[in-house]
């Protein structure tokens, strides 16, 4: 498995609270991504990063922000969590030097009550 | 509007037979396509890919076919095994590293 970890793996939080999910990689891959997976929607891209401090929006970026201050870490923040953000969140990495496929982390299950 | 569609939410196949999973796309600019497999409580894992300059790519029991005129790709698994039971996602990209995923097809291989 590619060296990708996500923390926490599970989280329950209340509506209106801020939440930060962390993705950490040991592969020195250039690109990092955050997806959410929901029934009937598959995997939808939230934000991605193409280098340190370089990020861009995906399909469903509203309500989320990201930061990448170093190659190995990509943080996803929900400034004020809502019940619609209850989902499973996956981080992924890729690099042109390693082909075009993405390698995924194990996921974080977030429940907003 | 969904740019990548997997119209069959589920598929059941007997062990040893062929599994065919389908994927349609609407954006003619897509030039790279991938298939991923996902087991419960795990992240998706890469299976096989194809670029738009090819119409077929094979890797062991897995073959992906691309029909650009129909904007359609399919994944063939021969022979199917019980361990292939999983959710399969297709994904597409257009010259960037931003991938659009389909909604997935749940494959069940019956022993």
φ, ψ for residue A83, nearest 5 deg: -65, -30
> Checking DSSP bridges between strand B4-5 and strand A64-70, what pairing results, if any?
unpaired
Structure tokens at A92: 């992924």
What does the pLDDT average to over B63-86?
Answer: 97
Q: Determine the residue among B45, B48, B99 to mutate to test chain A binding: the one whose Cβ has the most chain A Cβ atoms within 10 Å.
A: B99
Chain B CB within 8 Å of residue A9 CB: no
Angle at CA of residue A1, ends A45 and B59, nearest 5°: 85
Say if residues B75 and B59 touch (Cβ distance below 8 Å).
no
Cα-based torsion angle of the residue sequence B68, B73, B79, B81 in order, rounded to the nearest 10 degrees: 160
> Checking DSSP bridges between strand B105-110 and strand B10-14, what pairing results, if any?
parallel
Which pLDDT tens digit goes with each residue over A18-75? 999 999 999 999 999 999 999 888 899 999 999 999 999 998 999 999 999 999 999 9
Q: Do B98 and A92 touch (CB under 8 A)?
A: no
Residue A101: per-residue pLDDT: 84
Of all residues in chain B, the percent with pLDDT exceeding 90 is 91
**What contacts A62, CB < 8 A, 6 or more positions away?**
none
In this predicted structure, the answer to whether residue A1 has a pLDDT above a threshold of 70 is no
Cα dihedral sign for B28, A101, A29, A39? Answer: positive
Structure tokens at A109: 């299950």
Q: Do A42 and B101 touch (CB under 8 A)?
A: yes
The SS3 assignment for B100 reads strand
């Amino acid at each position: 498995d590619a060296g990708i970890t996500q923390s926490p793996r599970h989280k329950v939080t209340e509506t209106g609270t801020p939440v930060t999910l962390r993705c950490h990689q040991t592969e020195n891959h250039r690109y990092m991504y955050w997806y959410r997976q929901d029934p009937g929607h598959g995997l939808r891209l939230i934000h991605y990063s193409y280098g340190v401090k370089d990020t861009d929006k995906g399909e469903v970026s509203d309500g989320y922000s990201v930061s990448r201050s170093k190659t190995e870490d990509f943080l996803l923040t929900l400034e004020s969590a809502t019940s619609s953000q209850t989902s499973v969140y996956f981080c992924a990495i890729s690099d042109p030097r390693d082909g075009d496929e993405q390698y995924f982390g194990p996921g974080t299950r977030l429940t907003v009550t | 509007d969904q740019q990548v569609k997997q119209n069959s939410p589920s598929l059941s196949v007997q062990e040893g037979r062929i599994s065919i999973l389908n994927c349609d796309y609407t954006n003619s600019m897509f030039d790279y396509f991938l298939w991923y497999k996902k087991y419960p409580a795990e992240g998706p894992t890469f299976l096989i890919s194809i670029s738009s300059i090819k119409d077929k790519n094979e890797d062991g029991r897995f073959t992906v076919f691309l029909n650009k005129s129909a904007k359609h790709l399919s994944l063939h698994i021969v022979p199917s095994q019980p361990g292939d039971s999983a959710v399969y996602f297709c994904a597409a990209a257009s010259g960037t590293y931003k991938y659009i995923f389909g909604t997935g097809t749940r494959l069940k291989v019956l022993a």
